[in-house]
Amino acid sequence: MEPRERSAFVSSYTKVLTAAWSNDDYVTQLEGNPRAALAEQGLELPANATVRIIRDIGGDPDLEAQVALWETGRTTGVYELRVPSSPQIEDRELSEADLEAVAGGDTYCCCCSPCCCCT
């Protein structure tokens, strides 16, 4: 897949995921009429293509694997789109080091600040 095509696919795929995670009506449409639901988000399919929406996904999500599956669909005519039932997020507690990193740590460089007054 060329970079421009890949970028367009990833953008549309992201829209599909966002819609599926935030709108139950879209999920119903995705499961009942996937071709129309995907077209709504910019993913057009050939007329004779078969679409499989996979909701239960084991393991970690992998964007590169999804891109490869979509590209395989161009050859086989079977397009598989993995749409997890919920966003795949880590649910562990943050460590002290994680909290310090989020807070910005303990170093500050004024030359990187937009209000820097030193020259």
Buried b (16+ CB within 10 A) or exposed e, 85-116: eeeeeeeeeeeeeeeeeeeeeeeeeeeeeeee
pLDDT computed for residue 97 by the predictor: 72
Res. 76: pLDDT tops 60? yes
Residue the block writes with tokens 């919920």: 86
> What's the token pair of residue 2?
């060329």
> What mean pLDDT, rounded, does the chain reach?
83
User: For 84-98, what is the mean pLDDT?
Assistant: 69
Q: Which of 80, 90, 58 is nearest to 13 (CA)?
A: 80
1-57 pLDDT, tens digit each: 899 999 999 999 999 999 999 999 999 999 999 999 999 999 999 999 999 999 887
Read off the pTM. Answer: 0.70
